[in-house]
Amino acid sequence: MNVIKIAKEVFELEAEAIKGLCEKLDDNFTQTVELILQSKGRLVISGMGKSGHIGAKIAATLASTGTPSFFMHPAEAFHGDLGMLTQNDILLAISNSGESEEIVKIIPFVKKRGITLIGMAGDEKSTLARESDYFLNISIEKEACPLQLAPMSSTTVSLAMGDALAAALMKKRNFKPENFAMYHPGGSLGKKLLTNLKDIMTSKDLPTVDLKSDFQDVITTITRGKLGLCIVVDDGLIKGIITDGDLRRTLQETDKIRFDLSAQEMMTKNPKTIHENKMAVDAEAYMIENKIKELLVVDDDEKLVGVVQLFDTGSIF
């Protein structure tokens, strides 16, 4: 039995199922996005079994990307949790067959209260599809399950449709990294997105030299600073930077005796800088974009106030 072949077949079937969603998108999707955007309530998601697991993940994704959302178990809803819903809320019900008993049973009570119902199902003729105010078609040709019993392709397309909703809503809301950070304050991701450069930059005993500093002064300053560099300043303004690489290149490219070299002759002019009020994530992106490992941090007057490095030990990057 070739398990690699089996795995590839699953990938191919599920990929085809997702690709098939493109042809099923219609005005219902557009209207659903606009409905959620205009809503003054929450988007409550419900589903039974595997659809419920997918629904919980979709709710978590939406909640973390600017759309107030939570998961409501349909069986519990029928025994009191329907009270979680307010008239301003929207219910997104997920059922591959569109006939899940627990989902179908709560529909009349949802409709009676005037709560908008969005149905996500694989059968456009199902009860859920007929009763929904808006219908998202997630039908598939074939499950990836070898027995055609366990939901595989169907749960994959459900998740993909949920992600499509979340992405569309993020774009419509102009949702930005700083917004994302507000919902993710914990862990390394939240720390990176919420941390200001002032909190992580090296700002004390900065390794600086002036334009006329000689080779020995430069070496001593780089060694003392323990950053692998020194900054050339004149009256507080940055004139250049000297890294270990600059030293090697200078020594290779000149016949001048090294002790006769000045900082001005060794430095890289106009080094990259960033304002002290920028976020750590901005510095990271800027360094990666410019393929550099350090940034000089400046204040409103363009004067040196710190250094931030991409691969600092203990840094947030």
High-pLDDT (> 70) share of the chain, % = 94
Q: Show me where the domains of the chain are located.
A: 3-175, 197-309
Q: Is the pLDDT assigned to residue 87 strictly greater than 70?
A: yes
What mean pLDDT is predicted for residues 102-113?
95
d(CA 15, CA 17): 5
Q: Phi-psi bin for 64: left (phi > 0), alpha (psi -120 to 50), beta? A: alpha
Asked whether the beta carbons of 122 and 108 are under 8 A apart, the reply is no
- Give the distance, in angstroms, between the CA of residue 270 and the centroid of all CA atoms in the same chain: 32
What mean pLDDT is reported for the chain?
Answer: 90
Beta bridge partners of 295: 308
CA dist list (Å): 277 to 1, 179, 231, 306: 59, 17, 20, 12
What mean pLDDT is predicted for residues 211-236?
92
Asked whether the beta carbons of 296 and 272 are under 8 A apart, the reply is yes
d(CA 93, CA 121): 8
Give me the pLDDT at residue 313, please. 32
What mean pLDDT is predicted for residues 85-97?
96
Give me the pLDDT at residue 183, please. 72
For residue 282, name the pLDDT band (cuts at 50, 70, 90).
confident
pTM: 0.68
Q: DSSP assignment of 212-243, as one string?
A: T-BHHHHHHHHHHHTSSEEEEEETTEEEEEEE
Which superfamily is assigned to 3-175 in CATH? Glucose-6-phosphate isomerase like protein; domain 1 (3.40.50.10490)
Give me the pLDDT at residue 149, please. 83
What mean pLDDT is predicted for residues 44-48?
97
CA dist list (Å): 149 to 101, 126, 127, 153, 252: 18, 19, 21, 11, 69
Closest CA to 158 of 79, 219, 92, 99: 92
Which superfamily is assigned to 197-309 in CATH? CBS-domain (3.10.580.10)
